[in-house]
Structure formats: structure tokens, C-alpha cells
Amino acid sequence: MTAGNVCAFTIQQCNPSICQVRIDFLTLTLAQPNAHGSCIYDSMNIIGGATNIPPICGENSGLHLYVDFNGNSNIRIVISTSSDASVPKAWKLKIAQIACDCPTRAHMYEALARKRFYGLSPSGCLMHYTDLSGTVRSFNYGTTVSSYLLPNGQPGTRQLANTNYGICVEMVAGYCGIQWSQSSDIYSFTVSGDTSTAVGQGIIGTPASFASGADCTTDFIVVPNPLVNGVPTRTDRFCGNGLPTLTTYSKPFVLTTVTNGDELPDSGNRGFALSYTQLRCTNIIVVVNDPVSTDVLGRNEFYQVIDVIKKLNIMDTMPVSTDVLGRNEFYQVIDVIKKLNIMDTIHDLIIKNIEKYVCNTVVVECWMCIAGANSEAENFQNFHKAMVTLYNYYLLLSNIFNNLELLCVTLKYRSTTYYQNSTDALKVIFRSALLSQLPLDYKKSVRHFYEVGLKYEENRGRESLDELCSNCSSNNCICAQYFYEANSILLELGLLEPLASQILTTTIYDYIENHVETTCKDRFDASFLAPLQKWLEDVIIKWLRKIYTCDYSNKEINKFNKKLQNFMYEIYTKVRINQLFGIIIEYPDSISALQDLKTCLSKTDLRPYLTRKLQKSMETRLLHTGVSTPDILTAYVATIRSMRVLDPSGLLLGAITQPIHQYLRSRDDTVRCVVSSLTEEGPSDLADELIKGEALQTDENTPSDDEEINWENWLPDPVDADPNKPLAHNRRTSDIISMLVNVYGSRELFVNEYRTLLADRLLTSLTCDTEREIRYLELLKLRFGDAQLHYCEVMLKDIVDSKRITQNIKQDLSSSGESDIPISSMILSAQFWPAFKEEKCELHQSVDEQMKKYTACFETLKGNRTLYWKKHLGLVDLDIELPDRTMNLYSVTPIHATIILHFQDKSQWHLDELSKIMQVPPTVLRRKIGFWESQYLISQVSPDIFQLVEVSVKGNLNVPHEIIVEDESESAMASTQDQREEELQTFWSYVTGMLMNLDSLPLERIHQVLKMFAFQGPTTECSLQELKHFLDRKVREHQLVYSNGYYKLPKS
Amino acid sequence: MKVIIKNWTGVATWKWIANDDNCGICRMPFDGCCPDCKLPGDDCPLVWGECSHCFHMHCIMKWLQSQQVNQQCPMCRQEWKFNNK
């Protein structure tokens, strides 16, 4: 570009999010302004932005400026040059656009280091620096004079006229102040006045040549609220030809420079180049402690100030004396402070010093006390010591604070920067210092402290005071005193809440838990709710009241009390729930525990927990193979009874007994056990239940009237009830026997089982008490109804009748004189008895004959009726006379009797021989003979040869080891399984008929057809599974062929 | 050795001596009882007709009462006469 031309750039916003442009003058060399300071030769104008920027000329390389965009209009840089080509002109600009949301500081340091982009400059700052220290320059400052001379021959000015801009320094974190000073060049602050004169007088660059305040009217800089040598200057504008070092703590750090429209009266001004350094926040003390200049203050006054400060006890080390100042001195001091207006500084200084002292000394010392303790007692002592140490310091420091407060009040000074309320200030300082340096194990320490306190409190109620304290193990226990002392310190310093309340709460919780657990461990026979409540009130709440003394209103304590009660209930409930299985087993001794639990359940929401827990313990302790069925039943009955106490609605019962039901269903002998416990005096007292119970209601839904009568006692269903299932039904079935019967869900099964058991009992014991059986039968009838038990009635009548008949026949027989074997019999109506186990057995001839006689008698007694003997059944009483002894045997089975009778005839038998005569299979017979072997009456002399032993030679007798004693409890009745088999057999003809006509059929189809034609009545129902078993057995027996899922008859 | 049987209690079932198992009228077993009765045996006896058919007494009586004209055996349609053997 040739001289005299204009060069113009246009900066367009790259996008609407751009707010600012930073223009770096990498090189900007233009002609110097004229003597008036105006850029009339060369000039750079930046226009179109929101920032007003003076025309710039002269040497400005290395400077920068920020321009705000005005909306979205472009910014233009217009550089116009004079035609004077002898003046060098050069420019190289770097332009960066800055987005509006670009951070001003923070991670900008890093970005700046890479010189990639810049942060926004705060508005009003034409230049913006971010370093900790550096140099700022006014436009066109230079180390040489301007080449243009004034009319008087003096050198012209370099300072540009008509400027008013801010130079900002970004405050770095941790830095509170900034210090401005001239750079090394003595001309580095030549802003107004005649510079050459100052040079001539030799005072350039010294404080002697600077002016301030009202003296600065034309060109000056402004630094807000500066201090010179730590003393406020009372002015903020500076001009002239020298600048003292200025320190300011006013934020933001800004230096404003102002020049008027004409620089002519001044000569040789160059502007300024000032070094700045940001000051660390703590430097304030150094500033005051290290006064260099006493220019502003009088020398005496200054020392007075120092004296004051010393008397106020705020120096780094803790002074010994804490005397309040003497009256005279005090007023003297106040005068000085007033005069110097340094209350602000002093106040800050004192607070700062105290903070530092508390942080570095007091707190460290306090926490040191706690460290390293192991035992509870040690911790207790240490914590107390720590608190006392803390409090002593607090008292010491509060003296200073009182002085300060007095000072403030007298001077009517009100600090804005620190604490609003100076009485709390010290506490706040202590609190924040303590909490900011919490040691790792303070919790343990605090916890131990309160535990000891609590223990002591509880023991106080129990033992006399002179007894040994468990903590300090001294006769003269001062633990309580210690405790309350430390506690009141915590309270006074406001530390109780932040430091201890949480730990206190958990300590109390743990303590309650512990207490509850130890109190009601394994004791179910007493109610603990009232004692526990009393304990809580007497020990814990009382203690809490003491701890909080006046701090807490009664309302707060009550609130806490409620919370603790709730917690105690919850713990107690949990403890009881965990013991619930034991409680149930011990019912009814544990009734008070159950009552407690009931009360608790209504206050807590632990029902689901109870259900889960109890089910679990049932599973682990009851419902496994190791427990016999009667035991399970006993537990089950106890459960039902306990649950009735616990929850009259029956809902819990339903949930808890579900698994037991399921399990009982999977056991074969459940029904048998239920029935036998119903009719016998057992541990489960079911018989009693039977006596008091009313009619069984298994599947009736008719609501009873008593609900309407007792409407006042009505309670809503519990919240966890399923609204789809009416509860009335559940309530009804909580009758124990109904529930037991409902385990299987069918009365028939029950009645059948009862019939079998009854038959067994009647046939195996002659002494059977029919009176009692009839009574039970009547009771059962009440529940199961007449129809179901009709058969049993007939059975009992048979027994009674046969006694009478036997009596008759015996008379007949004895009158005819042939009664070598007295025979009696039980004459049964076969149709009404359960099926008998069929065993073939021929009795001894003599007995047989006698039986025939008996039959004949019967036939004459009851016309047209005869008897069929079940020869293997019955009981025989016999005496065996041996040469050396007589054996009396009662209730021997007919087979046994027959065997011994045969041996009476012939003393040695071969097994096969005997088997043939008795028509009993040899294996069975061998088993039966075993009985006599065990009586030492028969011995096996060689394989399968048995010999009667008339004279027992005990000791010498070679008793065979493997005497097989048959198990006694053999039922006379066919097992239910056999009976079932029998029933299924009736279907066989249907099946063969079907297969003959249709060749082959799948299982499902056979079942379907049977369902249609063969299954009539509920008992003859047969499940698919059962049918499959049946058919498969037939396949094994080669009566059926099974292939590809089809059954067919084998081809014959 | 001498075995003295002091008492032998046997178990026996009684049975009607009849030429059939079930009553021809109620189809229930003779050894059971007719539908109106609860107890078998003495309380629900059998009767024989001259035609040698036998029934529960209660059953045949009911039958006979329901016959207005001729009193016949329901099995063989012969005139019903009780066999008093």
C-alpha cells in the first residue's frame, strides 16, 4: 500500500453467538500524534462496535484491545495514512472472535497458554490481562520522545488525546489485592505536567513529582481505594510524573486512564507502563506489620497503632496477658483508630489472626487429644480432655473478642465482610475450624464417649453410687461430672448438633437394640412392652433431657421421644419375629410374648417381614424330612393357635400356613396322624379341640348371624388383604380341625382313614373301650355329619353285638360240654368294614373244629346266616407249660398260635412240611417262627429244620443271631394303596372292551372314554397320571402292548 | 410242652345264605341293608318267597304294597308267598 492511502478491514460475526473481538497488534507502527496528541497524520479507527475506541496512532506493537459487537453489525478497522512516506508504517493484526458464553477465567489459563483463543473481556475493559503479574501500557507509550516538537521547542507528547478506557487484570483465585508500580523506566509514568521540568529537577519517577486527587484535572489514572504503604490515600486519581507503589483490595482490579482533548500544555509526556502484581490474600498482615513509610501517618501515631494492635492481643503467638485495657489507654487507642480510620483493617486483622490461630493451634491440639486411644475408657477421658482444652481456648479468645466488640460498639463500627453477629463469630470460627479438620477416628471417640455416658446413666439407677465405676474403675467416680462438663461445652459451642447428634442417635439406637435383645432373650412368658417403655423413659429420655438441657424445647424432646419409641417397637418386634418359631412352639406358655407382638404389629409395618421370616424358619426348622409328621402337626396346631392371637383376621395365618399345607400334602401319613391325634390323647390336644368345636364348615359361604350382632366389634380387613378373596371365609376356617381337614380338602379321605384306623384298633385290641370310641364317633359326627360316619357306627355296633353273641354261643357250647378251646369271635358286617388284608392260613385242626362248632351255633342262633372266618386275624391268649416254667402269652396272633400248636403235636418240623399244612408261604412262615425263636421255644437245628426246645438252657443256648422278629404294628386292613388298586381293577374290563373294538388308543383318549362311562361318583375318579401308572403296570404284566404312544391288546 | 389256649378270639364275617349276592329290588348287597335302613343283619332281615327268590324284607314289603292287583315276585312274576322254612 502506498503512503496516503486508506486501508479498511471489515470484521463480520462468524455466527450470532459471537460477542467480542480481540484485536492483537502484533505489529502496529504508525506516525506519532501531533503535539496536541491527536492522530492527524496516521490513524487507526475501529468503528461499528459497541465500544468507543479513540483513534490510535504511534507505536503500539504488542498491545491488544477488545471490541464488543453492536448487535450483528460489522466492525470496521480503518487505517488511514499520511503521504509522508519517511515515517515507517507497518501493521500486523491478529483478530479473534469470542463467543458470548466463552468463560472469562477458570480454564482459560490453559487455553491462553496455548494461545489458541481468548476469554471474554468484562465490559468496560478495553484491555484485559489474566496473568499474576505483568506490565500494562497506555497506547503509544514508548521509551523515546515524540519526534514532533512543541512550539517552544520542547519535545511533544506521545500520549494520545481524548481517551478514556479501562485496563483490567483478572483476579486469580487466592489473590485478594493488586499492587501497581512503575516499571524500570523512569519515564514510565509521565501522564501530565511538564516532564522536562521534572527531569530537570531530578524528581522524575519519584513520589515527589506525583500529584493526586483534585490536582489531577486533565490527564490521570484512577485506581480505586488504594493504599500507599498500607495507609489509605483518600484519593483514587493520580497524575504527574511519578507514581508511588499503589496497593488496592478493591475488586475488580481495574486501572482507568483518562486524557483530555488537548495535550499541548504538557510536554514530553509518554503515558505509562506500570508493573502489576497480584497479592496473596494473607499479605494484609504483612502490610500492616511491616510499615516502611510513616509519611502519611505521623511517626508517633504509627507506633501508637502498633501499640494498640499489640494490646489487642492479636499477634501470631498467643499472649500471656489477657487483661482488659485500662480505661485511659482504651480511650487513647480509640482516638488513634478514629483518627486513622483503620477500624476496618484492625477488625479484619484480628479476625483473620484468630481464625488462623484456631485453625493451626487450637483445633490441632484439641484433636491431638483424641488420637491414639484404644479402649472405651481411654476414649472417654480423651474426649473430655479435648473438650476442656477447646473450652479453655475459647474462653481465652473470647476475651479478645470482647475487647473487639467493645471497640466496635464504641466506634459504632459495623463489619460487613465477616460475621453478622459478633457474639456468634467466635463459635462459628471454632465450629468451622473443628469440622474442617475432623480426624478419621473422631466418630469412634465420640461414640465411646456417649456410650460410657449412657452406661453410667443406666447404672446410676441400679446400683448405689459408691460402687466401682466400670469405666474409671475408681471408687470416687467423676465420670458423670466429666460427661456433663464435656457435654455442656459441646452444647455451648453449638457443636452438639453438627459433631455429635448423628453419632448420639446411632449410639442410642444401638443401645436400645442391645437392651431389647438382652432383656427378652429366650423369655416368652412375660410381657416386656411396659418395662421397655419405662426403661426408655427412665433411662434414655431422661439422659437426653440432661444432654440437651435448655437447648431443646420440650417439644423437640417429645418428638425425639416418639421417634425412639417407634424405633424401640420396631426392634422389639424384630426380635420377637426372629424368635417367633420358638414362641409358637411354646404356645400357650408364650401367650404374653404373642400379645406383645400383636400390639407391636399394629404400631409398625412389619407384617410382611413377619410372614417372610416365619415362613423361612418354618422351612428350615420344620418342613424337612427329619421331622416326624406328628411333630409337624403339633407345630401346625400351635401355629394356628398363636396366629389366632396375633391376627384375628386370619390373614397372617393363611399366608404362613400355606407352605405347611403344601408340605403336609406331600406326606403319606398325614391323614393317619391327624386322625389318630384326633382320637387319642396326644400332645397336640386335638381331642379337646374336637370336643369343644362345632360343626365343620369346609365349603359353605353362608354368612353367620353373629357378625351382624357384633357389628360394634367389626374391624376393617388389614391393608395387605386381597380384596378379591373375602376374608369371612378365612376367619371361619381358622377352626383348627377344619384347617387340618382342609389340608387335603376332602372329608372322604379323612373319614376313610378314620375308618381304617378304627378297624385296626378294634381288631388288634380286644380290650378296646367301645364306650370311648362311641363318644368320639359322636363328636366326629357333629363335624363330619351322620352320613359320612355311618359305616363306623355299624362297625362299632358289630363289636358290641359280637360280644353278646359270643356270650350266647359260649353258654351253648359249654352246656354241650365240649369247650376244650374257648372260642370267641368278632362278627363283622363285611360291607361296612374296610377291605381286609387277605392272607391264606390254615389253623390247627383242633381250633378249626372248634370254629366249625361255633359257626354251627351261630347258624342256629341267626337263621339263614353263616360265618366266614378270617383265619389269620384274631388274638389268642395262651399258656405254655414247660417242664421248667410256664409262659403266659397274651394277644398272640392266630398264626403264631397255630405254629406252636403244631409243635405241640410234633417237636421237629421241616419248613416246607409245615408250610404245606398251614398253607402259608415258607418265607412268611420263617418270619413267624422267628417270634417263637425269640421266646427260646423253637430253634433252627439245621437249615429249614426247626426243633422245639423244651428245656431252655440259658447261656448255653445258641441263639441264632438273625432272629427275625416281625414288626408288630402290622395292620389288619389292606393299605389304601391296595384298595385303590382294587378300584382301578374295575376299569380294566372297560379298557379291554375299548381296545378290542378300537384296536389301539392313546392314553388321553382312554381317559376320556373312561370319564364318560366308567367314572361315576367322586371317589372313583382317576387322574391321568394314575391311569398311566395302572396301564403301564399292565404293560409290564404283558396284558397290554405300548408302542408309539398307543396302547393295544397283545395278539394272542 | 403243653399249650393251653385260654381264649381264642377269631374274626369272622357273617353272610346270608342266599342264592344271590344282591337284592333284586334295591340292588344293594344282602349283607348290607336296604336303602331305608342303617344297620344290617337283624335290623334289616331277608325274606324268601316260595319261588325261592329272596329280598330285603323292607324292599319286598314296599313292593308288595305298591302292587294293587296281584302280589307277584318281581323276579319271576309268580304269585308271591313267603317261604316260612
For chain A (length 1052 residues), average pLDDT per consecutive 10? 80 85 89 85 88 87 88 88 82 86 50 50 81 88 78 77 88 78 85 79 76 85 84 83 85 87 80 87 39 43 59 44 52 69 71 79 82 78 84 79 73 64 75 83 82 77 53 64 81 79 86 85 80 84 76 72 87 86 83 84 84 87 83 83 78 79 80 74 60 48 50 65 53 62 72 82 71 80 78 86 85 70 84 81 86 87 85 85 82 86 87 88 86 84 84 52 49 65 76 83 84 62 78 85 84 69
pLDDT for res A174 = 65
User: Is A545 found in the same domain as A599?
Assistant: yes
**Nearest by CB to B11, which of A794, A870, A900?**
A870
Picking from A829, A861, A893, the residue at the C-terminal end of a domain is A861
- DSSP sequence for A927-993: HHHHHHHHTTSEEEEETTEEEE--S--TTTS---TT--PPPS---SBPPHHHHHHHHHHHHHHHHHH
Q: What angle do CA A395, A398, A401 make, to 5 degrees?
A: 170
Q: Is residue A508 part of a domain?
A: no
Q: At A1032, which CATH number?
A: 1.10.10.10
- Written as nine digits, the cell of A336 is 488513634
Which position has the grid cell 514510565?
A: A188
Window 88-147 of A, Cβ < 8 Å to B: none
Q: Strand B2-16 and strand A220-222: pairing?
A: unpaired
Kindly report the number of other CB atoms within 10 A of residue A298's CB atom. 12
CA dihedral sign of residues A831, A832, A838, A843: negative
User: Is A262 found in the same domain as A145?
Assistant: yes
pLDDT for res A39 = 86
Q: Is residue A966 part of a domain?
A: no
Q: Is residue A868 part of a domain?
A: no
Q: Is residue A709 part of a domain?
A: no
User: Is A145 found in the same domain as A243?
Assistant: yes
User: Is A988 found in the same domain as A1035?
Assistant: yes
Q: Is residue A953 part of a domain?
A: no
Beta bridge partners of A417: none
User: Is A78 found in the same domain as A18?
Assistant: yes
Interface contact flag, B6 A794, Cβ < 8 Å: no
CB A274 within 8 Å of CB A331: no
Residue A340 DSSP code: H
pLDDT for res A368 = 82
Which position has the grid cell 466429666?
A: A482
Interface contact flag, A826 B16, Cβ < 8 Å: no
Q: Is residue A785 part of a domain?
A: yes
Closest chain A residue to B48, measured at CA? A864
Ranges in chain B, pLDDT < 50: none
pLDDT for res A117 = 46
A409: Cβ–Cβ under 8 A, 6 or more apart, which residues?
A: none
The span from the CA of A335 to the CA of A301, in Å, is: 10
Residue B19 touches partner A, C-beta closer than 8 Å: no
Boundaries of domain holding A1001: 976-1048
User: Is A913 found in the same domain as A826?
Assistant: no
A726: preceding bond cis by omega (within 30 degrees): no
Q: Is residue A963 part of a domain?
A: no
Interface contact flag, B32 A878, Cβ < 8 Å: no
Distances (CA, A) of A55 to A161, A485, A630, B15: 9, 76, 111, 142
CB A257 within 8 Å of CB A223: no
User: Is A848 found in the same domain as A915?
Assistant: no
User: Is A460 found in the same domain as A411?
Assistant: no
**Nearest by CB to A878, which of B6, B11, B13?**
B6
Residue A870 touches partner B, C-beta closer than 8 Å: yes
The shortest C-alpha distance from B42 to chain A (Å) reads: 8
Window 905-944 of A, Cβ < 8 Å to B: 907, 937
Q: At A131, which CATH number?
A: 2.60.120.290
pLDDT for res A383 = 84
Task: Give the domains, in start order, of chain B with CATH numbers.
Answer: 15-85 (3.30.40.10)
Picking from A389, A413, A439, the residue at the C-terminal end of a domain is A439
User: Is A562 found in the same domain as A460?
Assistant: no
The shortest C-alpha distance from B18 to chain A (Å) reads: 8
Radius of gyration of chain B (CA): 18
The shortest C-alpha distance from B72 to chain A (Å) reads: 23
Q: Considering only CA atoms, which of A963, A961, A1013 is closest in space to residue A986?
A: A1013
**Nearest by CB to A823, which of B8, B39, B42?**
B8
How many domains does one find in chain A? 9
Which position has the grid cell 382294587?
A: A982
Backbone angles phi, psi at A520, to 5 degrees: -105, 25
Interface contact flag, B17 A864, Cβ < 8 Å: yes
Report how many Cβ contacts below 8 Å link chain A to chain B: 140
Residues in chain A with CB shorter than 8 Å from the CB of B12 are: 825-828, 855, 867-870
Q: Considering only CA atoms, which of B65, B72, B75, B66 is closest in space to residue B23?
A: B75
Q: At A303, which CATH number?
A: 1.20.1310
Residues in chain B with CB shorter than 8 Å from the CB of A832 are: 32, 40
Residues in chain A with CB shorter than 8 Å from the CB of B13 are: 827-830, 833, 867-868, 870
User: Is A637 found in the same domain as A577?
Assistant: no
User: Is A290 found in the same domain as A167?
Assistant: yes
Q: Is residue A964 part of a domain?
A: no
User: Is A779 found in the same domain as A850?
Assistant: yes
Residues in chain A with CB shorter than 8 Å from the CB of B40 are: 794, 829, 831-832
pLDDT for res A136 = 92
